[in-house]
Amino acid sequence: MLTTKVRHVVAAFLLALPTALPAQTPPAWDKVPLALGKEKPDVVLTGTVNRSDYQRNVSVPFTVPKGVTRIAIELTYTRPDGKTVINLGLFDGERFRGWSGSNKHAVVLDESSATPSFTAGPIGGRRWSLDLGVSYIDEGSTSTYTAKVWFWRKGDVPAVSTFSPEPLELGRRWYRGDLHLHTGDSDGFCDSRRGRSVPCPIYRTVEAAEDARLDFIAITDHNNVGHYNAMRELQAFYDDVLLIPGREMTTEQGHANIFGTTEYIDHRLGEKSMPDMASMVRASHDAGALVSINHPGAPSDYRCRGCGWTASRETYEQVDSIEVMNAGNLWKQLAGADPMADVAIWEAEFAKGRRITAIGGSDNHDMQLGRLGVGFPTTVVLADALSERAILDGIKKGHVWLDLTGKPGRSFDVTVRAPGAAGTIGDNLSLPAGQTLTIEVSVGGSSGGSLVGLLDGKPVPALSFDHLPSATSKVPLTWSSDGARHWIRFEVREGGKRILITNPVFLNFNSDR
């Protein structure tokens, strides 16, 4: 009778024997992110290699048209001997662009980022070639390879995420994140191993996000695209924190974050290529980005170059969101001052019939600040999955509230119902005069706090509730409509300080945001 140890050795030996294997099915992380609505590859390259190609490099040319900004390639091949190994390299017609070894089957390259072991750079208008290195194939064996190639063009947006082919999590819930972060790729600093203040590597910010128990972050270095290369590399490893490509467009007329594109957009207002801020916002939208005004009420002088929003009023009608709360506002609140100046700028747009989403962002430049750093404040988004597409869609819909503490453990939700309709934070309901809106507010993690409901920016006792319990509680409220246009939003306050603010529920607004 075989002992357990001998059985394990025999099993390992049998598993090591060569077997005929079909083309690989790579794991989910080893596939390419696709553009929305463009699942079919633009080019499919197929061919065979045999023993005569052993230890040779097989060139497979293909043309990338002008206007293509990104290419994505998936290589698979059959293994009739169970041992065939084909490595993937790339040339762009002018230079070597990378070599995968045999540890990955999916490759993405654009002008600012590339899969690790490949280099970013120009893409379109070139005669590229696969460099298939046949490291091993048995005598008498023939392997069939297939390379699928997708072309991305200006304005294409990810079906899932820029840096991940799959959602990091499935399921509709409130996801926590920080939408304004800086690293050593612009002006973010941290201490080196020897205690010197140095430009901080991106992975330190990602780790700080994990420590803050965030689900997603956007790294928004000033006018830069260089940080996307590191983000593309880090996402596969940090597969529990979604990395959304961002950029702070830093100009003399104001700062704006753009999310969801890696394409370069000119920040030099007054140039022929970018005459004014309105043009820059349009260019960002053309690239598929969501655009948010940053700290609009900040000064625009020697204290902070161009930090306040001084661009034309037209731009408020163009952007998707406004950063109404960042760490600077919260530090004012900690000192006993009013942190709501940017909230007033945001609410002024509602009086004009404009629905615009409020978001937050720490604007962190030092990830070592702990609870007052990354995630302070936290932007909480209702989304169907933890993916770039779902998070940005949730922001566009206004399904957002802000946790001003940066502490995990708080929860908030709103369900509103009118005859024949229901919704949540950010939604718009039609409610004729005389009809009643029923509201259920669910609050968790705020012991002794108070719920303050605001109608058109003013507190209303009938929409408020004092002395919330520490456990999650459901507060029923009602409001009778007069048929006019209104908005209702909520705050949670503790000890006179705002702990949480929500986007509104809109009533009788037009259907467009």
**pLDDT mean values, one per 10 residues, the chain (513 residues):** 45 40 68 96 98 97 98 96 95 96 90 96 97 96 97 96 97 98 96 97 98 98 96 96 98 97 96 96 97 94 88 94 96 93 96 95 95 95 98 98 94 95 97 96 90 97 90 91 97 94 95 60
At 97 the pLDDT is 98
pLDDT score at 21: 53
Residue ranges of domains in the chain, CATH in brackets: 15-153 (2.60.120.380), 409-513 (2.70.50.30)
Q: Report the pLDDT value the prediction gives residue 24, as an integer from 0 to 100.
A: 59
Interacting residues of 229 by C-beta distance below 8 A, sequence separation 6+: 112, 113, 114, 120
pLDDT at 16: 40
- What are the structure tokens assigned to 484, written together? 């006019």
| Residues facing residue 244 across a β-bridge | 218
DSSP E strand boundaries for 279-374: 290-293, 321-325, 357-360
DSSP 207-262: HHHHHTT-SEEEE--BT--THHHHHHHHHHH-TTSEEEEEEEEEETTEEEEEES--
Q: What is the 3-state secondary structure (H, E, C) of 396-436?
A: HCCCEEEECCCCCCCEEEEEEEECCEEECCCCEECCCCCCE
| Amino acid (one-letter) located at 431 | L
CA-based end-to-end distance of the chain? 75
Burial annotation 169-193 (CB, 10 A radius, 16+ → b, else e) = beeebbbbbbbbbbbbbbebbbeee
